[in-house]
Amino acid sequence: MISLNKISKKFGKLLAVNDISLNLEPMHSYALIGPNGSGKTTMIKMILGMVLPTCGEIKVDGQQIARSWKYREKIGYMPQIGRYPDNITIGQLFEMIKKIRHATNGMDEELFHSFQLDFMLKKQMRTLSGGTRQKVSAALAFLFKPPILILDEPTAGLDPVSVEILKEKIQKEKDAGKLFIITSHIMSDLDDLSTDIIYLYEGSIVYNNPVSILKEETGHDRLGKAVSKIIRDHATTTNSRLH
Amino acid sequence: MLFLMFSSIGLYQLDSDTSKVVMSLMNILLIVVPLISVIFTTIHFYNSYEFIELMLAQPINRRTIFVAEYIAVSFSLVITFVIGLSTPMIIYGAGGIGGTLLISGSILTLVFTSLAFLVAVLTRDKAKAIGLGLLVWFYFTLIYDAIVLWVVYTFSDYPLDTATMIMISLNPVDLARILMVLKLDISALMGYTGAFYREFLGSNAGFFTSTAILLFWAIIPAWLALHVFRKKDL
């Protein structure tokens, strides 16, 4: 569904993403992990066309995305930090986005209601707390039933109840056949949600396998432990190469 | 708008001769209009940065986003300018050249909105953008005239007709000034460059050429800014 072919991105001299090739399929939920600054957000932004790759090509649904924009109808995006115009109210924001995206197959307002956003339609975005903004972002991402959902740190800043609501929603949509790309630093969240693990380090893919294989390989049953094992293994191999 | 309205009403109060008032107004316009356009546009662009990001995640063409931003800013600035200036003019009368003043001022607003958009898409943060925008404004309103004057003075032994004309066309503020001056018939009072232009061009031909070049000044930076924006990483 999404394929990245030898993607690199340079910001000045900094090589943010280094020669990545990936194939992402529906029905899977990919957990994108890696230390801060390893290129996760850059990769996501390149799929969205917000950052243009220095070289390589990205295809969504078999279509090149360079210079195209129509494909974004298929993607719901929840940014790491939801930033919205200050003076707009929640109600106006949803109205506007609805006008921009002509919903062809109806709308999914489940999150909108379960996060109780309908009770604060008149609130201005400026007055909202970080968590409430996250809820708005999440509700917007799911609103148009897109087949691809990209969630950048979806649970950061949410209260425990909302985290559960969101996780249930992700689970449900994943089972319905959607493609998820989720980045997070909270392994226990990813444990329930992801089917595949992609570990990025300094812009390169170090590890890319289904969770079941990962757990088998490392002999750990919990994702957190399994992941930290591959990270440590990776660190020792790079260190020994250096010496 | 209020600033324009009050300053023009004040000027009308000070002097009973309309053409003198219009001349003072023109000088204010040539300096203030570019400044307001540049500052307002850069601030607006960086304040709506989040919004642009939000729009980019939606299925919308980047060109559409940019054109919408440009139209929104430039139209509101032009409308502000026109209302602010025309209200006192209607009340007190402008002596025939009010129309020229409005047109050239409006185009000047567009020119500096375009330049400011170009500056805004080329920079990465607000402070730099405003600084660079102010530099552009300073250059076109003050420094450029000084350079032209210096060149003309230094090389006064040579025939400079074409050279001066080209130099003037390279500055939108000068062009706007010439547009007004050609109508005002007081070119000698309006600085060296203005005086030159009148000598070379008859009233009508001069008017159309300078309007055309001025429009180019509005279109080309906006077009360049659009191209930068389409390739910009946000």
Residue B73 phi/psi, 5° resolution?
Answer: -70, -50
DSSP per-residue codes, B103-169? HHHHHHHHHHHHHHHHHHHH-SSHHHHHHHHHHHHHIIIIIHHHHHHHHHHHTTTS--HHHHHHHHH
- Contact between B59 and A49 using a beta-carbon 8 Å cutoff: no
Q: What is the pLDDT of residue B131?
A: 92
pLDDT at B212: 86
pLDDT at B135 over 90: yes
Q: Is the pLDDT of residue B107 over 60?
A: yes
Instruction: Please give the residue that has the higher pLDDT: either B189 or A73.
Output: A73
- Provide, as residue numbers in chain A, all residues whose Cβ is less than 8 Å from the Cβ of B61: 69
pLDDT, residue A66, reads 79
Count structural domains, chain B.
1
Contact A20, A177 (CB under 8 A): no
Q: Each residue of B4-61: pLDDT tens digit?
A: 666 666 666 666 566 677 777 777 788 888 888 898 899 888 888 878 888 888 888 8
Q: Read off the pLDDT band of B176 (50, 70, 90).
A: confident
Q: Are B30 and B191 in contact (CB under 8 A)?
A: no
Question: Residue B201: which pLDDT band, with cuts at 50, 70 and 90?
Answer: low
Q: What φ, ψ does residue B214 adopt, rounded to 5°?
A: -60, -40
- Give per-10-residue mean pLDDT for chain A (243 aa): 86 85 87 86 87 87 82 87 84 86 76 86 87 89 88 87 89 87 85 86 84 81 81 78 63
Question: Which residue of B48, B59, B231 is in closest CB contact with A52?
Answer: B231
Q: What is the model's pLDDT at position B30?
A: 84
Q: How much is the ipTM here?
A: 0.79
> pTM score, two decimals?
0.82
Mean pLDDT of B208-214: 82
Helix (H, G, I), strand (E, B) or coil at B49: helix
Name residue A26's amino acid. Answer: P
Using a CB-CB distance cutoff of 8 angstroms, which residues of chain A are in contact with residue B234? 45, 50-51
Domain interval for residue B216: 2-231
Average pLDDT over chain B reads 80
- Neighbouring residues of A140: CB distance < 8 A, sequence distance ≥ 6: A76, A78, A93, A94, A97
pLDDT in tens, A3-18: 888 888 888 888 888 8
- Identify whether the C-beta of residue B18 lies closer than 8 Å to the C-beta of residue B92: yes
CA distance B61 to chain A (A): 6
CB pairs under 8 A between A and B: 47
